[in-house]
Structure 1
Amino acid sequence: MTTILRDAGLSDLVESDHLTLLADGFQFTEGPLWRADGSILFQDIKAETTYRLRPDRSVEVVRASTGAANGQTYLADGRIVFCEQNGRRVSSMNPDGGDVRNVVETWSGRRLNSPNDVVCRSDGQAYFTDPAYGVAPADQALDFQGVFRWNPSEPAASALHLLVGDFEKPNGLAFSPDEATLYVCDTGKYHVRAFQVAADGDLVAGSGRIFATLDPGVPGGPDGIKVDRAGRVYVAVALGVWVFEADGRLLGILATPKRPSNLAWCDADGRGLVITAADAVHHVRFHEPGVLPRFLPPSGGIPAHS
């Protein structure tokens, strides 16, 4: 693995000196999600298929005809919530891929654009981005591309809240460890914004500062994003995974063979990072752990908090 250093702290952070290829031969991998049994769920957007990658590196189909599902995470009840790019909705399924349910597909009576990525807060609310990647301009019902908050404790008719609608191409999103900050990638503007999060889950008005600008000099703006427990920010961008300190200082880039799309912390100690990139899935280890999904169920599939 090539490490492009901006700060010696990055070499101290990385445990492995190379990427481990876990699987390849797919069309467009995305949305990795670690399971406590050691397996990894991921999407192949172009094949419209959800796969499970087992610890022995065997791969099985979990679900077909996914609506070009993309980002995914766990809800408080242990179900998996995911964004359907072509289906133009956010859906959920049980851990084995069955019992698919619609979560939300409209805002103010109009169809969503093309939901892309999703993250949950510790109070059970889900936040997702809604760019227009998977919808033809003539079919686009919303005149903006934004970030939404879905509150499952509210009546369905009022559970969806528009947080911000001034993005060009909103993409990956992640909370800081204390959930006081929500980071959102804007692929179109090649930057990551940082919003202050209010107690009720709304974003503080006017707080969307530019956290970092990521211009690799080649096509491919910021896509997936994750944070570690120390508050560092990891962003999938052309050239590789860009690693920032919490103050926005770039530590360096972990180069990947092909353009990465998304990331997921993994392993029992939380120190592994799964990277989806083009047709493949990779793995690398760090000395410090990342922030695993807040509602990661144990291997039996029962929510960890219950």
Structure 2
Amino acid sequence: MPKLTSIYLLVLIITSCSNPKEQTKSIVAEGAELQLVADQFKFTEGPASDREGNIYFTDQPNDDIWKWSPNDGLTLFMDSSGRANGLYVDDQGYLLACADEANELWRINLADKSHEVLLKGWNGMKYNGPNDMWLDAKGGIYFTDPFYKRVYWKDTSMQQSNCKVFYLPPGGSTPIVQDSTLIRPNGIIGTPDQKYLYVADNTGKKLYQYHIGLDGQLENKRLFADTGSDGMTIDNQGNIYVTGDGVTVYDDLGIKIHHIPVDRSWTANVTFGGPNQDILFITAMNSVFTLKMNVKGVRWQ
């Protein structure tokens, strides 16, 4: 074999075998460290960013929704929040909430904090407890409905026969079941191009990818990674962020590329915020944290 050809092949082998972790260290800003914002809560969940980069998140045991602003810090946004869990700010500026005190979906007016109940049950029965949601570009709502017994429930029976992933079409009033085979569907996130939806089965320790078909129907389900997750988010490189043991990052091929340790026993949720959508906001037990990133969230780009 000619010498130059041998050298060329050697370069190809070294390039193809390079460590993906080394290639993706840059997702975190150089020199950035995890910053504790506050640790005054009981259990934090459900962070969601608005257009200005403010973050709304829940302290579910205390029945509160808080607001974090990069400029103004923390303020209590709302108490008596229906035991809100997962949150999402829609394109009209309303805050949607998985309010599992009565197993409902709420829409909250950010101006006056009034709310309306969007959904309160399916097929004549209460939901198990809506947990997390993602909205498509048309305004359709995908949401997960696992069953976790809450100490504040008077009736702790499971009315639905199983745990489901639902889709509420835009303008609709009746959600459509998309998957009823997961043990406890939990975190959910979609891609900005509207092609794929990711749903975590936290109890089953699996992360699935679905193709989003016509009219929002989920198709071609496949195993994306052998991991569960509570809340999830996605960045502008297509990386998926899952939670539990800190924050673990997978690329769009399902390869683990990074881990962000968080000094708490459970990391519940994560999203991007800040005016440039480059601050990773993390909820973990009684605390919330921020981390400056080189990548950005895709929600308001």
| 1:77 and 2:73 matched | no
TM-score (norm 1): 0.85
Identity of aligned residues (%): 27
Instruction: Give SS of 2:91's match.
Output: coil
Q: CA deviation at 1:143?
A: 0.6
Q: Deviations over 1:255-300 (max 9, x none)?
A: 1111211111112222211001111111112212121258xxxxxx
Distance (Å, rounded) in 1 between the aligned partners of 2:125 and 2:89: 26
What residue identity is the alignment partner of 1:210?
L
Q: Deviations over 1:13-63 (max 9, x none)?
A: 210431011122100001112234443211001111111123345432222
What residue identity is the alignment partner of 1:263?
V
Q: Where does the alignment leave 5 or more consecutive residues of structure 2 unmatched? A: 1-18
| 1:241 and 2:247 matched | yes
Corresponding residue of 2:22: 8
Distance (Å, rounded) in 1 between the aligned partners of 2:73 and 2:251: 35
The one of 226, 232, 240 equivalent to 1:213 is 226
| 1:143 and 2:150 matched | no
Distance (Å, rounded) in 1 between the aligned partners of 2:73 and 2:293: 24
Instruction: Give SS of 1:147's match.
Output: strand
The one of 195, 209, 212 equivalent to 2:210 is 195
Distance (Å, rounded) in 2 between the aligned partners of 1:266 and 1:56: 12
What residue identity is the alignment partner of 1:211?
F
What residue identity is the alignment partner of 1:45?
Q
Instruction: Give SS of 2:216's match.
Output: coil
Corresponding residue of 2:82: 67
Distance (Å, rounded) in 2 between the aligned partners of 1:133 and 1:224: 15
* More helix, by proportion: 2
Corresponding residue of 2:239: 232
Q: CA deviation at 1:6?
A: 6.7
Instruction: Give SS of 1:114's match.
Output: coil
Q: Which has the higher contact order (CA 8 A, sep 6+)?
A: 1
1:85-234 matches, cutoff 5 A = 85-96=100-111, 98-134=113-149, 139-154=157-172, 156=173, 159-204=174-219, 207-214=220-227, 221-234=228-241
Distance (Å, rounded) in 2 between the aligned partners of 1:266 and 1:275: 10
CA contact (8 A) 1:80 1:94 kept: yes
Structure 1 pair 90/6, CA: closer, same or farther in 2 (3 Å)? same
Distance (Å, rounded) in 2 between the aligned partners of 1:171 and 1:83: 12
Q: CA deviation at 1:85?
A: 2.2
TM-score (norm 2): 0.87
Instruction: Give SS of 1:7's match.
Output: helix
